[in-house]
Amino acid sequence: MKMTNPRQILSPKRAMFATAILLSLLAVNCGGGKKPSGATAPVSTPVAKTTEAPATIPSQKPVIASFAVEPTVIERGQSAVLRWSVTGAAEVQIDNGVGTVPATGNRRVIPAESTTYKLTATGPGGDVSATATVTVTAPPEPPARPVTNTNTNKGTLESRVASDLQDAYFDYDSNNIRDDARASLTHDAEALKKIFADFPNASINLEGHCDERGSAEYNLGLGDRRSTAARDFLTQLGVPVDRIKTISYGKERPSCTDSNESCWQRNRRAHFSAGN
């Protein structure tokens, strides 16, 4: 699939470059440092990307056949390549730290910001120069870091309790820790340790709630069992028990008031709230 005809690698523009370089070299060789015989070389370029290139070759001045940068726009941290070709110069220099270079060559540069490179060719007949500019753009911003990983902005205790801790749900008239409650509380244990690290003096309430069906008085006892069961589970996972206060609300503080299983399940829960 990569059987490419080598001729096709050269774009028409590049083919013209190559021709110009060849002609330039011939011109240098013909000049030989001697005084021209009056016959001027039949060179009629300027070429692309050059500036101040003379339309004709003065007898003693160098000729900058080309000076260009590719690509002309890069992101910060990427590189660009300067290419140039000069004839008739005793010395060729490029500023911005590139220094003295051969008459023809290329150089990889990694500018930190947009830079205009100036090539100066010095010869017996005087100096000529040309410039090439590479524009450096800033890379796009990375995604924002997760809030929980930032210690610089830990929020309020209330906001952390509300956003970082999950309710644990129970079956009717039961304080058994179900599998889904086990997962929630395992998550909560890690979150609680971080919250306690960020708020060294805080305590957190672990509320026990019930659905509307049992009697208010019995549910007060059941809510206590639920909050205690959840607290004991957290204690096993290394959460400091003395910083969690269990409070049973029975069925007195429901999160919803519909009479269906969906709402009842939402109310059969252990729920965290900020303490003091």
Partner 1 sequence: MKRIIAFSALTALALVSAMTAQGPDITTWVKSFGGKPKLAVIDFRGAGSQDFMAAFNSTLFNDLKSSGLFELVPKGMLPLNNPQRPEDFRPVDGNGLALADWAKPAASASHLAFGYTAAAGGALALYGYLDDVRQQNPQSAQLFGKRYAGSLDNAGAIKVAHEYANDIITQFGGTGSLLGSRIYFVSNRGSAKGNWEIWVMDWDGNNAKQLTKLGALTSMPNISPDGTKLAFTTWAYGQPRIELISTTTGRRLNFYNQEASLNANVSFTPDGKQIYYSSTANESLPQIYVANADGGGFKRVSHRNAIEVEPKVNPKNPGQLLIVSGPGHQQIYSMTSEGLNVERVTNGEGEASNPSWHPDGQHFAFAWTRGYATGNFNIFVMDIGTKQYVQLTHSEGRNENPTWAPDGRHIVFTSNRSGRPQIYSMLADGTEVRQLTNQGDNKFPVWGVQ
Question: Which of the residues 174 through 213 are near partner 1 (CB under 8 A)?
Answer: 205, 211-213
Q: Which of 246, 267, 268, 270 lies at the binding interface for partner 1 (CB under 8 A)?
A: 246
From residue 104, give the alpha-carbon distance in Å to each of 85, 93, 171, 268. Answer: 4, 11, 83, 82
Residue type, 14: R
Q: Which of 199, 249, 268, 269 lies at the binding interface for partner 1 (CB under 8 A)?
A: 249
Q: How far is the CB of 267 from partner 1 (least distance, A)?
A: 12
Contact pattern for partner 1 over residues 26 through 55, marking x by CB under 8 A: ------------------------------
d(CA 133, CA 216): 80
For the chain, give me the number of helices (H) and strands (E)? Answer: 5, 12
Query: Does 17 sit near partner 1 (CB under 8 A)?
Result: no
Q: Which of 6, 9, 32, 217 lies at the binding interface for partner 1 (CB under 8 A)?
A: 217
3-state secondary structure of 133: strand
State the maximum Cα–Cα separation within the chain, in Å, rounded to a whole number: 119
Contacts of the segment 108-115: beta carbons below 8 A, 24+ positions apart: 108/79, 108/80, 108/81, 109/69, 109/79, 109/80, 109/81, 109/82, 109/134, 110/77, 110/78, 110/79, 110/80, 111/74, 111/80, 111/136, 112/76, 112/136, 113/76
Closest listed residue to residue 89, CA positions, set 58, 116, 68, 117: 58
Contact range with partner 1 by CB under 8 A, out of 70-78, 86-94, 142-150, 251-259: 251-259
d(CA 204, CA 180): 22
Asked whether the beta carbons of 66 and 84 are under 8 A apart, the reply is yes
Query: Does 220 sit near partner 1 (CB under 8 A)?
Result: yes
Query: Does 214 sit near partner 1 (CB under 8 A)?
Result: yes
Q: How far is the CB of 221 from partner 1 (least distance, A)?
A: 4
Query: Does 253 sit near partner 1 (CB under 8 A)?
Result: yes
Closest listed residue to residue 184, CA positions, set 200, 203, 206, 201: 206
Query: Does 215 sit near partner 1 (CB under 8 A)?
Result: yes
**Which CB sits closer to partner 1, 165 or 222?**
222
d(CA 88, CA 25): 10
Query: Does 252 sit near partner 1 (CB under 8 A)?
Result: yes
Query: Does 224 sit near partner 1 (CB under 8 A)?
Result: yes
Q: How far is the CB of 140 from partner 1 (least distance, A)?
A: 47
Query: Does 216 sit near partner 1 (CB under 8 A)?
Result: yes
Query: Does 242 sit near partner 1 (CB under 8 A)?
Result: no
Query: Does 162 sit near partner 1 (CB under 8 A)?
Result: no
- Please measure the distance between the N-terminal and C-terminal CA atoms of the chain and give it in whole angstroms: 72
**Which CB sits closer to partner 1, 13 or 253?**
253
Query: Does 273 sit near partner 1 (CB under 8 A)?
Result: no
**Which CB sits closer to partner 1, 197 or 216?**
216
- Applying CB under 8 A, the residues found at the interface with partner 1 are 172-173, 205, 211-218, 220-222, 224-225, 227-228, 245-249, 252-253, 259
